[in-house]
Amino acid sequence: MSRAVPLPLPGLPALLASASFARAYTFTTLATVFSAFAIQRVAGEVTFLTIVAGLCALGVGMLIARRAEYSLVRLAPTTVLMFLVWTLVTLAWTTDNARTVSGWLALAATALLAVVVALVRDTLQTVRALGDVLRWLLSISVGVEILSGILLDMPFDFLGIQGRIAELGPIQGIFGTRNLLGFATVIALITFLIEYRTLSVRTGVAVFSVVLGGVTAVLTDSPTVFVLAVAVGVAAAALAVVRSAPPERRSVLQWTIGTLVVIAVGIGYLLRNRIIGVLGAGTDFSLRTDLWRTLLPFVRFRPVEGWGWYGPWTATDYPFIAINLSLGESHASALNAYLDVLLQTGWVGLLLFLALALIALIRAWLVASERRSVVHAWTPLVLVALLVDSLFESFTLSGFGWFMLVLCAVRAGQSRSWRERVGAMDDPADPGLLPLPGDAQGLGGLRG
């Protein structure tokens, strides 16, 4: 009887460069960043940090193994790098060096994970992976809420779950707060609808996903979810109009839409009190306006450079402790990403953050309006959700909010950037500069 000869195992570089490893890495990374709260509450912060450190090490290894596929200048958008550099520079005048270093490392590590995922997977592959991850996480969130609020009728304090699903909410699932769950649900709904339009999943799975996302969004009872849904819906309708217009009319349409957005923002600001009353969000908004009013005097002390980068607020560092003491509250952020950046990094940091977000949105919008595949609409719609949510929360400065912002910025920069012209001059035959096959077929390239 002949003995079976064991197959040789692939070497580490080949494994790191393989498509299967990239797929597994993407799933693991997305699951980690979106379930960060639950991991820390169940297994501890050290466990979560160890997982992130391991993913960062693997990500660097993947980039090294795939170094022939990229040029150094095309790894990440300049705006992302400049914002990271400025937040690190604030170490020179921060009131707590250790906190600034730890906050910056969290920011940089999350950005690295986003860059790696954006480089090793294309848009459709990212959408499919994110859709699978969020289907599981939303299902788990609703399931745990049912277990807490109906089957056991007791709160799960270690997850912050109050068990109020029988009262139709609010629920927070494994995300910690109802607003964070609502934010994740809006991103999930965008992803599920793109999955459906690109025929990436079976119809039954798509219907289940959309119903799950819609029910979860309602049960969060979060006013910001309604605002995000309206903003994303309007953006999707505007993008559909632009995509259906003849190429020669798109430029006029783009300027018209931009003008209407500016007018709508102005009207919304003037009618903000009436809108807040209609939404029934008076208490939430009053809490925010009190916080912002208390915060702004501290900005005036250091308007250009800020107080130093921390990310989420600490309980003992100045000026956060002074703001919370003035209000008699214990806020962990400014509940507004733009004001948070202004407070911590000054006007320089805010301008860099706005440049990062707006340039990414413009690039992604132009790509989505020109290419046939509907999968390209995912990036600008997610960016709209991120930028609108930043008016009411600081989620885009840490965790999966910051991850998604960097991911979308890298994705947008891959199609519209001065790096493309540099790459074209260096190697005109570089396949990475050619259009995806799906652009001609309308399905976004169903690859891998």
Which pLDDT tens digit goes with each residue over 310-351?
A: 999 888 888 888 998 888 888 888 989 999 999 999 999 999
Residue 113 to residues 31, 41, 81, 238, 331, Cα–Cα distance (Å): 12, 22, 14, 31, 28
Average pLDDT over residues 263-268: 74
pLDDT at 130 over 70: yes
Average pLDDT over residues 285-296: 83
Task: Please report the pLDDT score of residue 71 as a whole number.
Answer: 72
pLDDT at 287 over 90: no
pTM of the entire predicted model:
0.88
Q: Residue 90 in contact with residue 308, Cβ under 8 Å?
A: yes
Q: For residues 26 and 38, what is the distance between their CA atoms, to the nearest angstrom?
A: 19
Average pLDDT over residues 13-25: 89
pLDDT at 431 over 50: no
The neighbour count for residue 50, using CB atoms within 10 Å, is: 12
Going from N- to C-terminal start, the domains of the chain cover: 13-70, 74-120+284-418, 123-221
pLDDT at 88 over 70: yes
Q: For residues 324 and 326, what is the distance between their CA atoms, to the nearest angstrom?
A: 5
**Tell me: the pLDDT tens digits for 384-408?**
999 999 988 899 999 999 999 999 9
Cross-strand pairs, 161? 156
Residue 62's nearest CA partner among 16, 97, 107, 96 is 16
Vertex 335 angle, CA 331 and 336, to 5°: 145
Residue ranges of E strands in 321-397:
none
